[in-house]
């Protein structure tokens, strides 16, 4: 079965009771049991819910994994994943990870469980080889990165991780499984903020982890229940509904973002454009190899911070807002908004940076909006 078909069919057979073709929202916290120690597959809704099962099966199929687990948010998925580690474990992170990931590792896990970490440029293979050590348990990859759109060679990094017995975990939020499937490139786990492209309509917060190894999936399943950062059935339904149009949406996001990146690259007021689809992007060749499109995220730098702030407040169609991956276009200033938590750290982003989440509106309207904001 091909991607578009899986997105609509896997885990989503008509409901056995009444034949509903849309997966029902099983809004229940518990399930009546036929007898003590017997069940119809579900006992308590933190442990399992049929709407969540449908979402998990669909995402597993799209990521080409053996299984997937859904969480209440991307950060809930990440916190649960890191709960796999023991005190004193070492983690290698990209030096441009999502600010919330860095905050979780540096401000929560490092002090609470003695987690050690190094943030390195994962596009520099020699630096990664130097950073990993016997205690390294996870090499955490984001590609494209948030917000600088760096491209990391997943196969190469997975190999380095495996040499020291570490997992290679890939945050696939920016690409979505439509454009990139890390498990097929050697990654051990794929993490998503389902809030973004998977949901796709800026109306739900969620997270997912997909994996292939049955032991890893079993441990994650145990932690999903033990930690309890689970999504409600309505949220699962919304992400599942988003998945059905993921392929169509990603095509439109990529097409619009490509047009916008080209326009920005030729604009006299724009100092620098970050978009892996541009041939001059340092990760262009790797992106062309490991992705089937360059995504809907574009970042660019203005000459001054004030100019960057001005552009963010002058657009009309691009709403000034955090988050990304929805059908509507968004603009933001990472330094003061999404990445404020890394200010003063080695991950601090340029103050002149503007980030766009390019939506699926008509490209000419988006281009006009940006041109007037830059004028």
DSSP character for 232? P
Q: How far apart are CA 343 and CA 49, in angstroms?
A: 40
Q: Given the rule CB under 6 A, which of 10-18, 279-287, 318-326, 366-374 is the region that contacts ligand P1T?
A: 318-326
Minimal distance, residue 75 CB to ligand P1T, in Å: 4
Beta-carbon contacts of 236 under 8 Å, excluding residues fewer than 6 positions away, are: 25, 49, 51, 52, 54, 55, 70, 206
Kindly tell me which of 56 and 73 has the beta carbon lying closer to ligand P1T.
Answer: 73
Q: Helix, strand or coil for residue 280? A: coil
Is residue 142 within the footprint of ligand P1T (CB under 6 A)?
Answer: yes
Active site residues: 46, 98, 171, 196
7-14's contacts with Cβ under 8 Å and 24+ in sequence apart are: 7/58, 7/62, 7/243, 7/244, 7/245, 7/246, 7/247, 8/244, 10/57, 10/58, 10/60, 10/61, 10/62, 11/53, 11/54, 11/55, 11/56, 11/57, 11/58, 11/61, 11/240, 12/54, 12/58, 12/240
- Residues with Cβ within 8 Å of 263's Cβ and at least 6 positions away in sequence, in order, are 367, 370, 371
Nearer to ligand P1T, 245 or 323 (CB): 323
Is residue 73 within the footprint of ligand P1T (CB under 6 A)? yes
Out of 251, 305, 307, 322, name the contact with ligand P1T by CB under 6 A: 322
* Closer CB to ligand P1T, 62 or 229, in the complex: 229
Q: Is 173 in the site for ligand P1T (CB under 6 A)?
A: yes
Q: Does 100 bind ligand P1T (CB under 6 A)?
A: yes
143 binds ligand P1T (CB under 6 A): no
Give the C-alpha separation, 10 to 15, whole Å. Answer: 13
Closest CA relative to residue 142, chosen from 111, 119, 110, 113: 119
Give the residue with the Cβ less far from ligand P1T, 45 or 97. Answer: 97
CB of 207 to ligand P1T, least distance (A): 5
- Round to whole Å and give the CA distance between 81 and 75: 10
Q: Is 193 in the site for ligand P1T (CB under 6 A)?
A: yes
| Sheet with 330-332, edge to edge strand ranges | 270-274, 297-302, 353-357, 330-332, 319-320
Instruction: Return the residue of 26, 81, 98, 274 that touches ligand P1T, per CB under 6 A.
Output: 98
195 binds ligand P1T (CB under 6 A): yes
For residue 184, give every residue at least 6 positions away whose Cβ sits within 8 Å of its Cβ, in sequence order, or none: 64
Closest CB to ligand P1T among residues 286, 330: 330
Instruction: Kindly state the smallest distance separating residue 203's Cβ from ligand P1T, in Å.
Output: 13
Q: In the bound complex, what is the minimum distance in angstroms from residue 176's beta carbon to ligand P1T?
A: 11
Least spacing, CB of residue 137 vs ligand P1T, in Å: 19
Nearer to ligand P1T, 62 or 70 (CB): 70
Per-residue interface string for the shown chain with ligand P1T, residues 233-252, x marking contact by CB under 6 A: --------------------
Q: Is 329 in the site for ligand P1T (CB under 6 A)?
A: no
* 146 interacts with ligand P1T by CB under 6 A: yes
- Site residues (CB under 6 A) for ligand P1T? 73-75, 98, 100, 142, 146, 171, 173, 193, 195, 205, 207, 322-324, 338
């Amino acid at each position: 079965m091909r991607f578009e078909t899986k997105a609509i069919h896997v885990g989503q057979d008509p409901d056995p009771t009444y034949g509903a073709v849309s997966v029902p929202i099983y809004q229940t916290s518990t399930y009546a049991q036929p007898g003590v120690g017997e069940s119809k597959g579900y006992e308590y809704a933190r442990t399992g819910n049929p709407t969540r099962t449908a979402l998990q099966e669909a995402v597993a199929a799209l990521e080409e994994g053996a299984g997937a687990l859904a969480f209440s948010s991307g950060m809930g998925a990440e916190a649960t994943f890191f709960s796999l580690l023991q005190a004193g474990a070492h983690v290698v992170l990209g030096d441009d990870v999502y600010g919330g990931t860095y905050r979780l590792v540096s401000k929560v896990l490092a002090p609470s469980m003695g987690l050690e970490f190094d943030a390195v440029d994962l596009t520099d293979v020699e630096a990664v080889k130097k950073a990993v050590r016997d205690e390294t348990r996870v090499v955490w990859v984001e590609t494209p990165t948030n917000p600088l759109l760096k491209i990391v060679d997943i196969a190469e990094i997975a190999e380095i991780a495996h040499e020291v017995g570490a997992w290679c975990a890939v945050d696939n939020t920016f690409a979505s499984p439509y454009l990139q499937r890390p498990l097929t490139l050697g990654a051990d786990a794929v993490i998503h903020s389902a809030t973004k492209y998977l949901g796709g309509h800026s109306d739900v917060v969620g997270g997912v982890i997909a994996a292939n190894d049955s032991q890893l999936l079993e441990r994650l399943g145990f932690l999903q229940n033990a930690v309890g950062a689970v999504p409600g059935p309505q949220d699962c339904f919304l992400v599942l509904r988003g998945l059905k149009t993921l392929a169509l949406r990603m095509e439109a996001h990529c097409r619009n973002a490509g047009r916008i990146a080209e326009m920005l690259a030729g604009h006299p007021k724009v100092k620098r454009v970050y978009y892996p689809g541009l041939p001059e992007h340092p990760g262009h060749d790797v992106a062309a190899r490991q992705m089937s499109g360059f995504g809907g995220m574009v970042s660019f730098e203005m000459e001054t911070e004030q100019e960057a702030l001005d552009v963010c407040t002058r657009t009309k169609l691009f709403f000034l807002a955090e988050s990304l991956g929805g059908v509507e276009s968004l603009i933001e200033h990472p330094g003061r908004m999404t990445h404020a938590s890394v200010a003063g750290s080695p991950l601090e982003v340029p103050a002149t940076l503007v980030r766009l989440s390019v939506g699926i509106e008509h490209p000419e309207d988006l281009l006009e909006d940006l041109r007037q904001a830059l004028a």
